[in-house]
Structure 1
Amino acid sequence: MKAFTKLDAKLAPLPLANIDTDQIIPKQFLKTVEREGLAKGLFYDFRFDADGKEKPDFVLNRPEFKNAGVLVTGDNFGCGSSREHAPWALMDFGISCVIATSFADIFYNNCFQNGLLPVVLQAGEVEALMDEAKGGNHMVTVDLEAQTVVSPSGKTFAFQIDANRKEKMLKGLDAIGETLQAAVDIDVYESKRALDRPWLEDA
């Protein structure tokens, strides 16, 4: 998993609440377990019409928000069914951070397991970011070490994050990576077990 430390990126506003995982990545795109290639399905029904043509008024289709790396959105983002494809699709599209007033629990947890940073800010702060993102300057800075978001105009908003999750994000550790930090101890244990209980090796 790629480490997340500090991100300078374009900010895109999506002022909608209760965006569920089927809206983030519709069910027809869940036939793969690969993380690459899911960008095409991200917000598909928002981005495309019935003929598969881009809707020019959708924020991520607008020229000024192309290649956005941060999404600021409404309450309860990522609700609905559990699917890791949702953070995968966002990241494959190039979005590394989502800012909202609240997230659905399962989506929030999946973000940390896949390197996507979910940032919770107060409603007034989210609204301020939305307003600024609609203006001419769209660049924002998200600093995980400092736990701050710096708006396009230079306003600084602090956010809270679990210390253990923060550390793993800074180091780029998912559940497997975290386990592999103890690889030496695991090898020693397995070698000792093989000597003490050799019959288990044949099981």
Structure 2
Amino acid sequence: MAGWVEHEGRAVALPRSDIDTDQIIPARFMSASRSEGYGGFLFADLREGDAAFPLDRHPGASVLVTGPNFGCGSSREAAVYALVDAGIRVVVAESFADIFAGNAVNNGLLPARVAETGAILDALGTGTAPARVDLERGTLTVGGRDHPVELPDIWRRKLINGWDDIDLTRAHADDIAAFRETRAARAPWAMPRGA
């Protein structure tokens, strides 16, 4: 996965709270191969019969602004795949389900915690606005107005470098090797044979 520092796109509002992973991608679509992409299944049930669905009105949007507790429900990583495959790079909300947020960061999607999300939703209404995210500054700019993003340093590091949890561990390979050598010298009895 490629890392990123800044993203510019269009923001669109989906003013709903407690959007769970089954609403993001209904389970019946998860039998499709990941290589085929999940973007076409994003919000399938919410979109059905709703000609005014925000992402259908504004298909080029890449920043989704929504209500609190986004990504609650099951731990399905396919919810993140569906968002990413549909071109969403940033989801803005006051809060996210923990497992969803971790899956998002590991797949290059920013779960941007913004305290002023309600004001952004009101400003967007049913339209769109230019949006810019700067990971280094920890800001989201929508319609020319800056909003601070709650962004843990570890998330920032993973997103900028394009890392998942395994890559993060590999970044400490030299320290791990040094510890192993020191531990083997101090307590050889604790090391497995042939290690």
Give the TM-score taking structure 2 as reference length. 0.84
Corresponding pairs, count: 185
Q: Which residue of 2 aligns with 1:73?
A: 66
Q: Which residue of 2 aligns with 1:18?
A: 18
Partner SS, residue 131 of structure 1: helix
Q: Any conservation in 2 of the 1:132–1:151 contact (CA below 8 Å)?
A: no
CA shift for structure 1 position 4? 2.5
Root-mean-square deviation (CA, aligned residues, Å) is 2.4
Q: Any conservation in 2 of the 1:36–1:92 contact (CA below 8 Å)?
A: no
Q: Which residue of 1 aligns with 2:84?
A: 91
Q: Distance in 1 between matches of 2:104 and 2:75?
A: 12
CA shift for structure 1 position 200? 5.0
Q: Which residue of 1 aligns with 2:152?
A: 162
C-alpha spacing 1:157/1:38, structure 2 compared with 1 (3 Å): same
Specify the code of the residue in structure 2 equivalent to 1:19.
Answer: I
Q: Which runs of 5+ in 1 are unaligned?
A: 50-54
Q: Distance in 1 between matches of 2:34 and 2:103?
A: 16
Q: Distance in 2 between matches of 1:45 and 1:33?
A: 20
Q: Distance in 2 between matches of 1:176 and 1:14?
A: 33
Q: Distance in 1 between matches of 2:159 and 2:168?
A: 11
Specify the code of the residue in structure 2 equivalent to 1:56.
Answer: A
Partner SS, residue 34 of structure 2: coil
C-alpha spacing 1:75/1:109, structure 2 compared with 1 (3 Å): same
Q: Deviations over 1:42-99 (max 9, x none)?
A: 10011224xxxxx32111111xx11110000001000001100011110000001000
Q: Any conservation in 1 of the 2:93–2:113 contact (CA below 8 Å)?
A: yes
Question: Share of identical aligned residues, percent?
Answer: 40
Partner SS, residue 51 of structure 2: coil
Give the TM-score taking structure 1 as reference length. 0.81
Partner SS, residue 166 of structure 2: helix
CA shift for structure 1 position 15? 0.3
Q: Which residue of 2 aligns with 1:149?
A: 140
* Residues 125-134 or 111-120, more deviating: 125-134
C-alpha spacing 1:181/1:165, structure 2 compared with 1 (3 Å): same
CA shift for structure 1 position 33? 5.7
Q: Deviations over 1:133-186 (max 9, x none)?
A: 23665211111110001111x111112211122112111111232344456788
Specify the code of the residue in structure 1 equivalent to 2:97.
Answer: A
Q: Distance in 2 between matches of 1:57 and 1:176?
A: 41
1:34 aligned onto 2:34: yes
Among candidates 42, 46, 54, match of residue 59 of structure 1: 54
Q: Distance in 2 between matches of 1:97 and 1:137?
A: 14
Q: Any conservation in 1 of the 2:4–2:162 contact (CA below 8 Å)?
A: yes
Q: Distance in 2 between matches of 1:86 and 1:56?
A: 22
Q: Distance in 2 between matches of 1:32 and 1:136?
A: 32
